[in-house]
Structure 1
Amino acid sequence: MQARAEARYRWDHGERPALLHTTEEVDSLIDSLLSGPVYENLAQIHSLERDSMPSGFPDHELLVGVDRDLQVGILTYLDSSGNVVTLGSLGRSPVYYIQGHMTEFPANSEIPIDLVRRGVKEFLSSGGRRPTCVQWQAVHP
């Protein structure tokens, strides 16, 4: 079975990303983020079903982060139309870590873990399109 997406979230994924073929593997990814090191709770995902830019880089990106203590998470999506982040109800400005590197997100951007799972599964099954099962807000620099 051909991989549909690749994910980077552990130190060793730089050259060898985790490959996602099925929705069950999405659940495994989320579970791994929830149970893994605190400084590796954010994953970068690219669909392998989309064309790359002329530079060879993906034309999109989905970031997925989880907070094991609060059982919430975050999704961000970037493509040529702009950068958006999930719209949630918690007022804090969360911080997540990808391969030890800190990324801060806007307040009110965290959503329940079950919505995070649904969003990543939709991304995978849609060929890398922005998930519609969550609400989005624009990210302002």
Structure 2
Amino acid sequence: MVALEAWYDVDHDEPAMIHTAADLDRVLDTVAGWEGRVIVELFVADDPRRAIFDVGVYGQGERGALYYAGRGEKWFSRGTMAAPSTVSPAERLSYYYMTSDTEYPGDSEIPLDVVRRAAHEYMRTGGERPTSPTWQAAPDRRV
């Protein structure tokens, strides 16, 4: 398990430091209580260049979306037939990182419990791309 930096609150000039699974849950619980689709950007504290892991949380919809960029690869989560997205793949969803909107593929939303497990796996594995959910390669640039 590694310490993470969590960036998500426009009112803070420094990241929230995450040292335990409980710390991570507190951050995710906080943004799940906010209105709309919100991004928590996670970095490995001792190696922030290792990967970018954006954890999108839409608490009211009990859904979220993930974006992972590391080792020259970029991935978005993909909803599965067992948990289909409420939006078609051709549409775009806007998640908000602080005050900036970020577009995600319409089929990138997954259940919030899967989002949480992926965030914990990212922390547990030291910044590796989580094995779940299903992933789809991102275009050459973010959507």
Q: Taking structure 1 as the reference length, what is the TM-score of the superposition? A: 0.85
Quote the Cα distance in structure 2 between the aligned partners of 1:37 and 1:106.
Answer: 20
RMSD over equivalenced CA pairs, Å: 1.9
Q: What is the aligned partner in structure 2 of residue 46 from structure 1?
A: 43
Q: CA deviation at 1:80?
A: 2.2
Matched residues, number: 132
One-letter amino acid matched to 2:132 = C
Q: CA deviation at 1:91?
A: 4.8
Quote the Cα distance in structure 2 between the aligned partners of 1:138 and 1:90.
Answer: 17
Q: Residue 63 of structure 1 is aligned with which of 24, 35, 54?
A: 54
Higher strand share: 2
Q: CA deviation at 1:28?
A: 1.0
Q: Residue 76 of structure 2 is aligned with which of 74, 85, 103?
A: 85
8 A contact 1:6–1:20 mirrored in 2: yes
**What residue ranges of structure 2 are gaps of 5+ in the alignment?**
none
Q: CA deviation at 1:49?
A: 4.4
Q: What is the aligned partner in structure 2 of residue 120 from structure 1?
A: 119
Listed one character per residue, the Cα deviations across residues 83-137 of structure 1 (whole Å, up to 9, x for unaligned) are 1010112152321101111011012101101000000000001111111121100
Q: Taking structure 2 as the reference length, what is the TM-score of the superposition? A: 0.84
1:1-141 superposed matches below 5 A: 4-13=3-12, 15-38=13-36, 41-50=38-47, 58-88=49-79, 89-92=84-87, 93-140=92-139, 141=141
One-letter amino acid matched to 2:40 = A
Which secondary structure state, in structure 2, belongs to the residue aligned with residue 136 of structure 1? strand
Where has structure 1 moved over 2 Å in runs of 4 or more? Answer: 36-39
